[in-house]
Amino acid sequence: MSKRHRLDPGDELSGRKTRPASSSSEGRDRDRDRDERPRDRDRDRERDRERDIKPPMMPSGVGGGGGGGGGGVSLLKQQMSQQQVNPFTNLPHTPRFYDILKKRLQLPVWEYKETFNDILARNQSFVLVGETGSGKTTQIPQWCVDMVRSTPGPKRAVACTQPRRVAAMSVAQRVADEMDIMLGQEVGYSIRFEDCSSAKTVLKYMTDGMLLREAMNDPLLERYGVIILDEAHERTLATDILMGVLKEVVRQRADLKVIVMSATLDAGKFQVYFDSCPLLTIPGRTHPVEIFYTPEPERDYLEAAIRTVIQIHMCEEEEGDCLLFLTGQELAPFLGRLQREKTDERCLDMRREIGTGKRAHRSWKWNIRTTRWAVLRGLPLSSGEAERVCPGEHLCARDTALVGSELNAAVTTIAGPEGQANTLNTLISGLYARGLHLPGSLRGIGLHKCSLTCSPWSHVLPEHIFNVGDIKIIPLYSTLPPQQQQRIFEPPPPRKPSGAIGRKVVVSTNIAETSLTIDGVVFVIDPGFAKQKVYNPRIRVESLLVTAISKASAQQRAGRAGRTRPGKCFRLYTEKAYKTEMQDNTYPEILRSNLGSVVLQLKKLGIDDLVHFDFMDPPAPETLMRALELLNYLAALNDDGDLTELGSMMAEFPLDPQLAKMVIASCEFNCSNEILSITAMLSVPQCFVRPTEARKAADESKMRFAHIDGDHLTLLNVYHAFKQNHESTQWCYDNFVNYRSLMSADNVRQQLSRIMDRFNLPRRSTEFTSRDYYINIRRALVTGFFMQIAHLERTGHYLTVKDNQVVQLHPSTVLDHKPEWVLYNEFVLTTKNYIRTCTDIKPEWLVKVAPQYYEMGNFPQCEAKRQLERIVAKLSTKEYTQY
């Protein structure tokens, strides 16, 4: 990997041309001196700020102010540090309040408080640009609370939206700690299917979708005096709709303040959209970041990421944690999984064969793999075995590709059950001890430090020859349980007595770009990819695809490395790709999403003229028409495009329109209790657990729940078994199902039940002994998903009805046969087109439930059409009496 340039604070965000990194030793000395001076200034500034904060009732000096308020800021800090009584609880502040306060007052945003208050007082809306780490997400809402509480008239609350639920929850907890109050009282949060707030709440963090849902019942959002749209640069679907709604609300409510906060300098568009409103820019507390690119494109970015983490941990002499960006939840925990390729018995057999010399002359590839199995199982290696594995001569160049792939697998020994690495020395140290230079993205950077020559190695190398510190691997993604999300703030493993550095490696989706700030990160590994939702209106398929990130996202990722001190960002793509192939900004979600839910919400808000709605970026007309068509087929809109009574009811459910229609229609089929359970299970993360080391046992356990008619009824069986076993965690463990997913499903079901009760929708079930029990459930499924049907052709493959897309049943399905007609819940685009979560259905139900959609005159020629025509003819002669 080649070192390209160093980024000074603000370089990437301001667009200034960066200077090349020094290559000579003299240049490196200049760079080091240049790096040291900012650190010295930071330490001096930090000491000055700490002198401004004294214990309660102690006089404190007035220091110099920053760019936003001069001496007034220092006076404000002095007053806050002397505050003894919590204005919300009327109780004395705890000692922890003052500890947190010291850190709060060091945030860059505090130098701009007076400027902020002045702009807020004189304007109804404005845009605030603050780099990640400036403190805008935690401090600005608290200042707004102070303003609202001091304003005469009705006491209103402050809402701060976040694009992700994990950010809403974690920030709310942090602000509650800063305000010295209990979460859920004066400070709370609201996310889909979870509300942690009360009547006393004056500051609520929420996902943007939840505020949009509140607007359905309170169109003018009278409860709030200030509404903050945080991370607006991410341009989520709900944020774009909220901006259009709020732009109209501020015209009708002169007392409402709207603040649009962004982490990038691309704020001109927001200013223009909000009628040339003011802009306040707050710099972050960043340090220089060196950027490295790969000389050639990486064929496997995951393998390259693994190699990079290993090399940083083993070669870098300075302390600092790593942040690795990956594309999805299924990849995030990969460093923490043990890949057991064989059984313990197989590993022991091979170890015995090594010991007897039977395979002493086998290839080096076989030997190193056998050693890896032994290491994974915790088996000790004798010195003789180690010598056979890593012979005395140096490895030739043609072996380096093999070493890369073996290290890819061997790195899984890093994270054991507790996420601690204690076995790196056993395998990788020996490879380096033989003078090995790894291939890949970091070739030539610091590898000379690892090119050690020593006598044949044993499984425990002397620490004076080679020593590697412990490493802690922590995944981070949006659906991770809150208590596990907090692990990213844990300290890294301590240094070893020998001085070996311990590191923390956070493996995250793009949630760590801007939503959360993780102190201590010095090294960022950016593969350059993220998962994005993409919708094709012509075939009505929406799926998550791995796509290249934008330049703005790359800049945000690099900035994570310079939060506490100078850092390094390793981009696993070429500089040419960055400059010529990446988009400047991520496409807004509204331009690449199914708009069915959006149109339904806008109709519920009373916005009928969708063509002239003030979108910041208007969606494609075809996408909008597809959404109107979907809602019309679901009977949520009439032929004039007006919201029906059914559509108004559907909008109240926090579900996709198809699921909402299915829940409501289930009452007609006497299976609303079962459909509630299935809907809840579809609304939470996958409940089946399939660990690498126990795949066969997990698959067998899943098949014990399997229903012959498909996956939806299998999910129902799992939920029923969970409740019958009294929500036992041990039962979940024994049956390879995720306890938290099932508990979340139970919570979702309760909330959906309350909505049904509000509309007096009966919750009932068909007798389990009745032959119609499962038939009624399958018919209810069709009422919502009649547009997601596939037919088995004579050629043996499935074709989606009407859209004629060739698809296959997903390997995860429990269907052990190929039904002629299947309903599917999800279309998955990978190397092949898969349909996932499938159920066997009868074609007669389609014609009966959705005659408008299955109008034969609009059908393309195919086997499915010919069969449906025969069914329609028979129905017209009343040959079919039951469906």
**Residue 331's pLDDT is what?**
55
Which one-letter amino acid corresponds to residue 432? Answer: Y
Q: Can you read off the two tokens belonging to residue 815?
A: 């269907």
Rounded CA gap, 24 and 4, in Å? Answer: 14
Q: What is the DSSP letter of 92?
A: B
How many CB atoms lie under 10 A from the CB of residue 302?
Answer: 16
- Measure Cα distances from 66 to 74, 103, 107, 128, 339 in Å: 9, 16, 11, 18, 53
CA distance 843 to 823: 10
First and final C-alpha spacing in the chain: 65
H or E stretch covering 824:
strand 821-829
Residue 611, pLDDT score: 85
> What pairing do the DSSP bridges indicate for beta strands 789-792 and 567-571?
unpaired
Alpha-carbon distance 292 to 299, whole Å? 18
Q: Find, among 632, 281, 262, 332, the residue nearest to 476 by Cα.
A: 332
pLDDT at residue 1 in the model: 55
DSSP state of 759: T
Cα–Cα separations (whole angstroms), residue 789 to 614, 784, 805, 847, 883: 35, 11, 11, 12, 17
In whole angstroms, give the CA distance from residue 591 to residue 598: 12
User: pLDDT for 627-638, tens place per residue?
Assistant: 999 999 999 999
pLDDT mean by block of 10 residues, the chain; 883 residues: 46 36 41 43 43 35 39 60 82 91 91 95 94 89 95 92 91 95 96 92 96 93 97 92 95 96 81 93 85 91 84 86 82 42 33 37 33 36 38 33 34 36 38 36 34 33 55 83 82 89 90 82 94 84 86 91 90 95 90 93 92 91 93 96 96 96 97 98 93 90 97 98 96 95 95 96 95 97 97 92 93 94 91 93 94 85 88 76 48
Position 315 scores a pLDDT of: 82
Rounded CA separation 536/278 (Å): 38
Question: What pairing do the DSSP bridges indicate for beta strands 833-840 and 806-809?
Answer: parallel
The residue whose two tokens read 């075995």 is: 385
Q: In the prediction, which pLDDT does 327 show? A: 86
- The DSSP string of 584-625 is SSPPPGGGSS--HHHHHHHHHTT----TTS--SSPPPHHHHH
